[in-house]
Amino acid sequence: MKVFVTDKYRVLTFLLICTVIGMGAIFAGEDSVTVSTAPKIVPIYSVGRDDGKIAVTFDCAWGAEDMESILSTLKNHNCNATFFVLGTWAEQNPEIMKKIVADGHEIGNHSYNHTHYTAMSQNEMLSDIDKCNKAIKDTSGISPTLFRAPSGDYNNSVIETVHSKNMEYIQWSIDSLDWRNLNCEQMMERIVPKTKSGDILLFHNGTAHTAESLDKILTELEKKGFSFLKVSDLIYRDNYTIDHTGKQIKN
């Protein structure tokens, strides 16, 4: 009987421990669900409008040999574009920075030296944004109001940090993939049939075929009735919502 009683109490003790652990797991699970279901903040990918207006954007990170050609083509098409530049790129190309502004384009912040923002603390992000803004201001006279992280890398913290600087985080809805060295026809297939009013197009300078392909791409877009605005003129600044796809919708 002693053996039976001892085993009985051991069993009861074991069951009690299991119950406590199980309840802890349940409560822990509830806490993790609360954290994981926090609303995701979505940046601006496109704008809900039906007037044929779209935005052409360039990320500028390395090299500037093709910039004269790009700027010339944009001028021929009366296309005011938005250039998201690294702070280091701005410092290395001050004359191009001045020409971008002189030609009527706008300049956005693309970080100082292409660091992944989701791996940074808020203070590190703020410091990097400020450093890039200063480089842009010093070389162009412009104080940026738009931001795009390297590789389009973002999470809630990134967007909240950008917004704390009174800047808008801008993504894109049409990707040329020009950085993969696609040729003109391949880029055309990606862009022209898919573009619609309010889209934001992504290109890069310093690629193998972007400068030589840009004229044909813009020509085909114009044939479809599209015209071009800077991002700051395309987006809404107030009285809007952003849906789950990142489309800005006027209230």
Which are the contacts of 232, defined by CB distance < 8 A and separation ≥ 6? Answer: 82, 106, 145, 146
Scanning the chain, the segments in alpha helix (DSSP H) are 2-36, 67-76, 87-92, 94-102, 122-140, 156-164, 184-191, 210-223, 231-234
Positions in the chain whose pLDDT score sits under 70: 1-37
Q: Would you call 138 a catalytic residue per the annotation?
A: no
Proportion of the chain in helix, strand, coil states, percent, rounded to 5: 50, 15, 35
Strand arrangement of the beta sheet that strand 46-47 belongs to:
46-47, 247-250, 240-242
Q: What is the pLDDT of residue 37?
A: 62
Between CA 233 and CA 239, with CA 236 as vertex, the angle to 5 degrees is 155
Question: Is 105 considered catalytic here?
Answer: no
Angle, CA of 113, 177 and 207, to the nearest 5°: 60
Q: What's the pTM value of the predicted model, to 2 decimals?
A: 0.85
Q: Could you read off the pLDDT of 137-166 as tens digits, one per residue?
A: 999 999 999 999 999 999 999 999 999 999
Strands 227-228 and 240-242: unpaired
Token pair of 128 as six digits:
């990097």
pLDDT at 38: 73
Catalytic hit among 77, 105, 110, 204: 204
Catalytic hit among 50, 59, 110, 199: 59
Q: Is 114 left (phi over 0), alpha (psi -120 to 50) or beta?
A: left
